[in-house]
Amino acid sequence: MNMISVDSLRFRYEEGEEQPDSTVVLDGVDLTIPRGQFIALLGHNGCGKSTLAKHFNALLLPLGGAVLIKGVSTADEDKRYDIRSTVGMVLQNPDNQLVSTIVEEDVAFGPENLGVDPAEIRERVDAALKAVGMYEYRGHAAHKLSGGQKQRVAIAGVLAMQPECIVLDEPTAMLDPRGRKEVIDTICRLNREQGITIVLITHYMEEAVLADRVVVMENGKVVVDGTPHEVFSKVDTLRELELDVPQPTELCYALRQVGIDLPNNVLTIDECVEALSALL
Question: Is pLDDT at 15 greater than 90 in this prediction?
Answer: no
Quick check: 20 pLDDT over 60? no
pLDDT recorded at residue 110: 87
Banded pLDDT at 172 (limits 50, 70, 90): confident
Average pLDDT, the chain: 90
Q: What is the DSSP string of the chain?
A: -EEEEEEEEEEEPPBTTTBSS--EEEEEEEEEEETT-EEEEE--TTSSHHHHHHHTTTSS--SEEEEEETTEETT-GGGHHHHHHHEEEE-S-GGGT--SSBHHHHHHHHHHHTT--HHHHHHHHHHHHHHTT-GGGTTSBGGGS-HHHHHHHHHHHHHTT--SEEEEESTTTTS-HHHHHHHHHHHHHHHHHH--EEEEE-S-HHHHTTSSEEEEEETTEEEEEE-HHHHHT-HHHHHHTT----HHHHHHHHHHHTT----S---SHHHHHHHHHHH-
Percent of the chain with pLDDT over 90: 63
Confidence of residue 21 (pLDDT cuts 50, 70, 90): low
Q: Tell me the pairing of strands 2-12 and 24-34.
A: antiparallel
**The model's pTM:** 0.88
Tens digit of each residue's pLDDT (9 = 90 or more) over 109-138: 988 887 889 999 999 999 999 989 899 999
Does 201 score more than 90 pLDDT?
yes
Which of 3-7, 29-33, 67-71, 78-82 has the least mean pLDDT?
Answer: 78-82
- Report pLDDT digits (tens) over 47-64: 999 999 999 999 999 999
Contacts of residue 241, defined as CB under 8 A and 6 or more positions apart, other chains included, come to 43, 44, 216, 218, 223, 224
- Report pLDDT for 180: 87
